Amino acid sequence: MEVSTPKKATEVKSKVEEVPEVPEVPFSWAEAQRIELKPQVIMQADIVFLNLPLKGYNKDEDIRYALSADELVLEIRDRSQKGVHRIRRLC
């Protein structure tokens, strides 16, 4: 049976402190990579539902859209990978 000495505890603590913090880069809608969004379209009578295969987005900050008479543009920020700035886009 091993007894923990203060020296071993200090070594473990110093190893934990050696991990550098990765600074978070601010998100930019203009510079983020665009990826095609592949939704599921469900049609019921006069209503069309759009099912989006995404998780973990903030509905107040991570979605933007444009709607015209014949076009819908939908962009959703993808937070699935830290440090990678992607936008899922549907046109």
Question: What pTM, to 2 d.p., does this model score?
Answer: 0.55
Domain parsing of the chain, residue ranges: 32-91
For residue range 30-53, list pLDDT tens digits in order: 888 888 888 888 888 888 888 887
| Secondary structure class of 61 (helix, strand, coil) | coil
Residue 40: enclosing H or E segment and its boundaries?
strand 40-44
What would the mean pLDDT of 14-24 be, rounded to a whole number? 65
Contact call for residues 85 and 28 (beta carbons, < 8 A): yes
Q: What is the pLDDT of residues 42-84, one digit of tens each?
A: 888 888 888 887 777 777 788 888 888 888 888 888 887 777 7
Instruction: Compute the average pLDDT of residues 23-28.
Output: 76
Alpha-carbon span 38 to 7, nearest angstrom: 56
